[in-house]
Structure 1
């Protein structure tokens, strides 16, 4: 059989059509709707019968988790008979309705079957309760905010979620090396399978192992839904029980978790505190109602903070009720929060100032929301709360850097600056010194700017692209960044940091209680000051830049602002995150030449005065509103899929052609 000979145009069309079909196949293969956060697992046989075995400590469904304590878990037989009813083998627990959670204990190896009735399935949708002013876009695939999905026609979409509130504890003789095993959620997808579980028919159910104490699943249904929660066998070196909460809803998930998005970012730390901030909560403009609604909120979110060395929460980091029951640090007297517009886009954000931390210690912080932010608990859509991906950070080791924020004049400044706790023991007193100094310098600039003809015709202005408002803003950004240098530990090895104040004696304070600074530190600094120091590698080869030492130049031996930092604050040696060079370039471009602004050239001081921005999330130079890893935070969202499909298409087309 002979195929007809194709013309060049037909050949190109055939190749393009084949490539398009292949790309479509790759897309359909890669695309996977996110019906559940946890991956499905194969159901396996168990030694237990396909029936429910409830533990002896089953809690009444109306109990609140906050009331759960050790006494509740150690009730004697008489108290159990009075307060709880032990269900016989084969009993099924019926949920009280849509958005009504069930709370139970479960022992290792046991399975509890749950029932979401046909009556609850076809009940009226819940009225939307006041929650966040608008849904937030955190880049995750989970539902957030108060946007409820409705289905008027049959079947109805049902949202099922489970969270672990209590888990077995490590009782081994060594440090904990593994997390407690996770519970498994089974959901029946057949009316004939009313006992889903480890012994249920594989084709008639879906099994989802909880991920860090959380799993959810959505499905279309026309009648009663049966599901179960199974506890695995207890591994060695663990003891105790699980306590979990399960809910089904026709409106939206009762519990929420966003494991692919932190939505919380580190601003900076000192030895005893950390400053964190959410991403933009809305892109609305200041004159929009939604913008004002966000700014009028008191504290829509909360933050949980725990040392990374503490393993008590490992296995429940995606569970709101797990975090609240773990009694870790959240919105208490040690956490101050409030709405701000500082930073990226000057949009509403929530800021968290977390105190009472230990120096040189690693922590993780988790952004969370109680209920739907205004209401919580049974009957509330989203009443089980939400959590986001943990964010890791470490406090500073030296005690001569302190956080400042919420300033009056330099209101966009929020990071650690050179400090001396002996002279300025609290944040307000230190902030006032820097802020008033910067404001005084700005007054002199404002007088000079007043001499420029700003309110004139466009042809008479000093620039057709910039005006005096642009100049004033650029000068203020530059002034605040250089007047308040961003401070890091002198021991930090980061290559973009500039050593400062090496000629000053270290302060006697220390971040570690009961300890003092290294007594040999001052002598070590004196020895280092005699060593060669070449910060400007682009200088001419015959320049003195290659013959100087740390002690011979002001860049390392003194500070950027000696009159206030060296003489008044006296922080001792520290390292500085240099201001971004684009702040200086913007100042020169925005202001009239008559003011005489200029930036140093490479090899002539630029390297020791300014730094360059990084696109990998690190703060390699200081600019107002900077946070760590804002641009680096990403997940396996649509952009990743588009990238994969694009690469696949290019490869396929190359192969075919």
Structure 2
């Protein structure tokens, strides 16, 4: 975890502000001597370029009865005391389109900003390299909209504000509230050159920042005036706000997509989490854009913070807030890279976040620095973007470990039963499982070679499936059952299957972070062994299925693969997310009957060995590429009666 101290940030802000003010003074003396103060700004046509029309924007009020120059001071109550503060000061002119301004602001103060006519009618920015293609994150908000450039009577101006620093909690109790948000004011009247809390409401638009972000777009023909206002300081908070504001004629300089989930949880163990983006393109592997995505090193980044830590509450939609207030996306704790595993086998970015604590709740925020290739002033989108946070919790037991990026079972990515005493790192554990599955597949491949695959349609074993389908279905099933998806034994999720209860729990010193004490797990196991165990409610009434306990059945006391999991890895008790039953159905339908594959019947073992998919985004059964709340992938084979009917009709047609 790398946390930037606020005092240092404030010093840098002060230096930046001084340099900016000096440059502004020189600029004003040389070019626009009347733009320093709101009261001295001349008429709207004073600086129009030759090609610009001499009229007002159609949506501005032509209200020339400017109120008197009042509201310069106001009474602010802080901690029970009244203070007089200047709420409207000197106007600060932005340096141009896509050139942000950065300022500190104290409670109760207002700063007016000016986007001048020359910047409004300046040439549009040259295109800069960014992402290979736009991403469809489902965002319908203003921050993701790209408008058509206008050259006629007016221009569209994109205004955005982000909070980079906010007051800190200094109360004696735990923080229960967040600092209040700044407010962005944008004048919609040529007569309102000092927008803010004291200006007439009908002459401006007020937008309260949402988690440190706000944006607004408007048509304009001349100078645009904005303001940022800081609210009164609540009790038990101290400090200042720092914010960044920008106006652009191209597109928003800052971006936030608070309603767009684009980062998803794959799985966790006690010290790490595996997260992945949604598909970044729907292009096919032969398409150029597909290859361009896959050639990227790391277009996005991710920020992770414990939910109990309140320092980022109030700035979760702000890229600069994320980078300045708290950060753990350093290369030592986050590994990222492009993958095609999962839904659609399309390009995605994967994040492996380490140095986490066991049994701890976190939120992760997907972010993009600048426009992914360039950052900072002059770059369209140079202020970065953030997406909706994803919440997750790390595991509590130390006998489940994440594996991914395997050689043979390359679509496997989740926690599997482990033992850090015997396999202390991910590569060694992955190699054990992967080589075991590859060996089993080799034997299957020899059997499949005996089937006449490359023959005429009438001679094939199925008109709907071929040997490639069989091989793929077998590999999907094999990897899922050879590498069970592991969950904490302490979890109470109803779809989990207890496994290996007959083995003593491990008490690993190699995984001290988040490990469950040996005695606690042993007590949990002992308490459950004598409880009634009825996994198959549809079993025949005279079956022993209704007269058994967890301690009396093999399914709960051993593992799916005893020779490797029980004997070699020895993880102790764990719970398993059972493989999806459609993996077995697909295997039977895709392969020739000569191979002898079959699935257990309901009430005769199906419920013990396999689980069913959920429509609510939960991973209630294990399939390769499963991701929480991105469960849109169709069943591999499904249990569709229509599909079975079609297969039977086709088979009868061939026999006829």
Give the TM-score of the pair, scaled to structure 2: 0.83
Query: Which residue number in structure 1 is paired with residue 562 of structure 2?
Result: 562
Query: Which residue number in structure 2 is paired with residue 553 of structure 1?
Result: 553
Go from structure 1 to structure 2 and tell me whether the alpha carbon gap of 1:80 and 1:255 turns closer, same or farther (over 3 Å shift). closer
- Which stretch of structure 1 is more off in the superposition, 508-517 or 175-184? 508-517
Query: Which residue number in structure 2 is paired with residue 58 of structure 1?
Result: none
Go from structure 1 to structure 2 and tell me whether the alpha carbon gap of 1:545 and 1:430 turns closer, same or farther (over 3 Å shift). same
Query: Which residue number in structure 2 is paired with residue 60 of structure 1?
Result: none
Query: Which residue number in structure 1 is paired with residue 530 of structure 2?
Result: 530
Query: Which residue number in structure 2 is paired with residue 281 of structure 1?
Result: 280
Separation of aligned partners in 2, 1:632 and 1:516: 34
Shift of 1:547: 1.7
What per-residue deviation string (whole Å, max 9, x for no partner) do you get for residues 112-134 of structure 1?
00000111001110011000000
Q: How does 1:32-47 map to 2 (within 5 A)?
A: none
Query: Which residue number in structure 1 is paired with residue 371 of structure 2?
Result: 372
Separation of aligned partners in 1, 2:628 and 2:355: 21
Go from structure 1 to structure 2 and tell me whether the alpha carbon gap of 1:215 and 1:82 turns closer, same or farther (over 3 Å shift). closer
Go from structure 1 to structure 2 and tell me whether the alpha carbon gap of 1:145 and 1:351 turns closer, same or farther (over 3 Å shift). farther
Separation of aligned partners in 1, 2:343 and 2:379: 33
Go from structure 1 to structure 2 and tell me whether the alpha carbon gap of 1:363 and 1:571 turns closer, same or farther (over 3 Å shift). same
Go from structure 1 to structure 2 and tell me whether the alpha carbon gap of 1:295 and 1:81 turns closer, same or farther (over 3 Å shift). closer
Separation of aligned partners in 2, 1:466 and 1:72: 63
Shift of 1:149: 3.5
Query: Which residue number in structure 2 is paired with residue 585 of structure 1?
Result: 585
Indicate if the aligned counterparts of 1:507 and 1:571 stay in contact, CA closer than 8 A: yes
Q: Does 1:330 align with 2:267?
A: no
Go from structure 1 to structure 2 and tell me whether the alpha carbon gap of 1:509 and 1:441 turns closer, same or farther (over 3 Å shift). same
Helix, strand or coil for the counterpart of 1:519?
helix
- Which stretch of structure 1 is more off in the superposition, 512-521 or 223-232? 512-521
Go from structure 1 to structure 2 and tell me whether the alpha carbon gap of 1:577 and 1:251 turns closer, same or farther (over 3 Å shift). same
Q: Does 1:183 align with 2:120?
A: no
Go from structure 1 to structure 2 and tell me whether the alpha carbon gap of 1:467 and 1:398 turns closer, same or farther (over 3 Å shift). same
Helix, strand or coil for the counterpart of 1:70?
helix
Indicate if the aligned counterparts of 2:423 and 2:429 stay in contact, CA closer than 8 A: yes
- Which stretch of structure 1 is more off in the superposition, 175-184 or 138-147? 138-147
Query: Which residue number in structure 1 is paired with residue 621 of structure 2?
Result: 621
Q: How does 1:344-493 map to 2 (within 5 A)?
A: 344-493=343-492
Shift of 1:344: 0.2
Q: Does 1:312 align with 2:314?
A: no
- Which stretch of structure 1 is more off in the superposition, 469-478 or 538-547? 538-547
Q: How does 1:118-197 map to 2 (within 5 A)?
A: 118-142=117-141, 149-197=148-196
* Gaps in structure 2 of 5+ consecutive residues: 26-35, 38-87, 634-656
Number of positions where the alignment pairs a residue of Structure 1 with one of Structure 2: 568
Query: Which residue number in structure 2 is paired with residue 70 of structure 1?
Result: 7
Helix, strand or coil for the counterpart of 2:564?
helix
Helix, strand or coil for the counterpart of 1:446?
helix
Helix, strand or coil for the counterpart of 2:436?
helix
Query: Which residue number in structure 1 is paired with residue 100 of structure 2?
Result: 101
Indicate if the aligned counterparts of 1:176 and 1:311 stay in contact, CA closer than 8 A: yes
Separation of aligned partners in 1, 2:540 and 2:457: 43
What per-residue deviation string (whole Å, max 9, x for no partner) do you get for residues 328-357 of structure 1?
211421100000000000000000000000
Go from structure 1 to structure 2 and tell me whether the alpha carbon gap of 1:174 and 1:481 turns closer, same or farther (over 3 Å shift). same
Helix, strand or coil for the counterpart of 1:261?
coil
* Gaps in structure 1 of 5+ consecutive residues: 1-65, 634-657
Query: Which residue number in structure 2 is paired with residue 31 of structure 1?
Result: none
Indicate if the aligned counterparts of 1:135 and 1:146 stay in contact, CA closer than 8 A: no
Query: Which residue number in structure 2 is paired with residue 608 of structure 1?
Result: 608
Go from structure 1 to structure 2 and tell me whether the alpha carbon gap of 1:544 and 1:339 turns closer, same or farther (over 3 Å shift). same
Give the TM-score of the pair, scaled to structure 1: 0.83
What per-residue deviation string (whole Å, max 9, x for no partner) do you get for residues 249-278 of structure 1?
000000000000120000000000000000
Separation of aligned partners in 1, 2:387 and 2:529: 47
Q: Does 1:497 align with 2:496?
A: yes
Separation of aligned partners in 2, 1:443 and 1:514: 38
Shift of 1:544: 1.2
What per-residue deviation string (whole Å, max 9, x for no partner) do you get for residues 4-58 of structure 1?
xxxxxxxxxxxxxxxxxxxxxxxxxxxxxxxxxxxxxxxxxxxxxxxxxxxxxxx
Shift of 1:76: 14
Indicate if the aligned counterparts of 2:307 and 2:362 stay in contact, CA closer than 8 A: yes
Indicate if the aligned counterparts of 1:488 and 1:574 stay in contact, CA closer than 8 A: yes
Separation of aligned partners in 2, 1:358 and 1:78: 38
Query: Which residue number in structure 1 is paired with residue 81 of structure 2?
Result: none
Separation of aligned partners in 1, 2:262 and 2:13: 45
- Which stretch of structure 1 is more off in the superposition, 234-243 or 518-527? 518-527
Indicate if the aligned counterparts of 2:284 and 2:290 stay in contact, CA closer than 8 A: yes
Separation of aligned partners in 2, 1:514 and 1:132: 38
Indicate if the aligned counterparts of 1:134 and 1:146 stay in contact, CA closer than 8 A: no
Q: How does 1:226-241 map to 2 (within 5 A)?
A: 226-241=225-240
Indicate if the aligned counterparts of 1:94 and 1:116 stay in contact, CA closer than 8 A: yes
Separation of aligned partners in 2, 1:234 and 1:615: 46
Separation of aligned partners in 2, 1:495 and 1:319: 38
